[in-house]
Amino acid sequence: MTAIDAVGNGIAGRLMSLRGWRRVSVSFLLGALAAAAQPPGLMAWAVRLFWKPGVSRVLALAATWTVFEGARGIMFTGFPWNPVGNVWVAFLPVLQGAAWMGVYGLSLVTVFAAAAPAVLTDRRRHRYPAAFSGLALLAAIAVAGGIRLTAAPDIATDGPVIRIVQPNIAQRDKWDPRKRSENFARHLQLSAPTDGGRPTHVIWPETATSHDFLTDPVGRTLLRGVVPAGRLLITGALRVDRVAGRAVGAHNSLVTVDGQGRPQAVYDKHHLVPFGEYIPFRSILPVEKVTAGAIDFSPGPGPRTLRLPGLPPVSPLICYEAIFPAKAVLRHDRPEWLLNVTNDAWFGRSAGPHQHFASAQLRTVEEGLPLVRAANTGISGVVDARGRIVAAIGLGRQGVIDVPLPAPGPSTIFARFGNWIPAALACVFFVASIMFFRINSLREMKQTATI
């Protein structure tokens, strides 16, 4: 396999997992494909260095895959979309392994287990233990994960009750100025108190309003009907910086508003989407942003832990900030829950929203923290600290759910050491691969010498 072949295979593979991104601009899609394809393409080329009969090639494949999957989360500001370890959201016992080794560690074990049976084709004497060692490792993780799930506490019902609003506004309507009032009214209607319960906090999705409603006195007055005294609205919002009445900057923000429409706390998204929320090297790249608006968004200072009235400390995550392992919380100020607001309307009814939700679900197990997620068109929901979905609103549906906030779990091993753990495991696999590679090479030399 040549380097060109490897990169080509990488692009083909990423095309399959990026099906939901087909609605974005060509410039953004080509840039995303180029960045996403490099790690798997280079991985396929690099692993050829250890491509000898025996388990060494399988160990090298798993380790190299993990290294380049991690690199994909760093290169070009990072795009760790849909890592292999995400597959285990469908089987919670193995998913618990993320608490110890993170999603990249799960990818390492999964690739090894999937590729190890290839050793059976070598017809060597000790091929069976090597071929099924990966499955044995997955089984051990499943047993330990099952015990961890059994020991998890029941979900508390006496804590703050959160209302998640999913307005299900199509992307073509969201930024239409003619539908601004209609869209805002839909949020208000879904947030109004009902006979079934009065939640203490209401959460709207990312950029729930297409204008800076914090400077709109009419909008703030209308909020009083759904945010009475003692309650809070937490919403994604467009926030504009103005100088002499002229817009000079914009932020993709999360804002907490009280019953008088007054902002109580603000978090500005810090990990912006290149070509989506800003144009890198704008002076030399003649392309436009995917999102609406003529000016670039400005990043916030970084992760924050917000302390809001009536709620435990929370780490806000806007849109794809939830897909980055070991980046979901401020390490020296650990929160008690995660809040992810997002607008996945531009994915349409593709695999994208499901992949996005799965990545957010992984963060709960890695950090040992529950997640509350509000998505414009879905998937909204609440996930407990073990990755179990407590309640959800499906894709393409309008509605609300009122759910007690689950309790946090203890800090996990991964929460303390982060991506150093999968990096160390990859190093162990590399060393083992070199050892088996040397052993096989020496054996071949002896066999050649006796002929």
Q: Please give the Cα distance from 107 to 102 (Å, whole number).
A: 9
Give the residue from 451, 330, 342 showing the smallest Cα distance to 393. Answer: 342
Tell me if 414 sits within 8 A of 392, measured CB to CB. Answer: no
Residue 206 known to be catalytic:
yes
Three-state DSSP at 335 gives coil
Identify the active-site residue in 277, 319, 366, 367: 319
Residue 289 known to be catalytic:
no
Burial of 361 from C-beta contacts in 10 A (0-12 / 13-18 / 19+): buried
Identify the active-site residue in 269, 277, 327, 336: 269
Burial of 218 from C-beta contacts in 10 A (0-12 / 13-18 / 19+): exposed
Beta strands at 314-318 and 337-342: parallel, antiparallel or unpaired: parallel
Token pair listed for 246:
């002229």
Q: At what angle do helices 98-115 and 56-72 cross, to 10 degrees?
A: 130
Instruction: Say how far residue 68 (Cα) sits from the centre of its chain.
Output: 18
Burial of 47 from C-beta contacts in 10 A (0-12 / 13-18 / 19+): buried
Spell 60-81 as b/e; 16+ CB within 10 A means b: bbbbbbbbbbbebbeeeebbbb
348: left (phi over 0), alpha (psi -120 to 50) or beta: left
Residue 269 known to be catalytic:
yes
Q: Which residues are catalytic?
A: 206, 269, 319
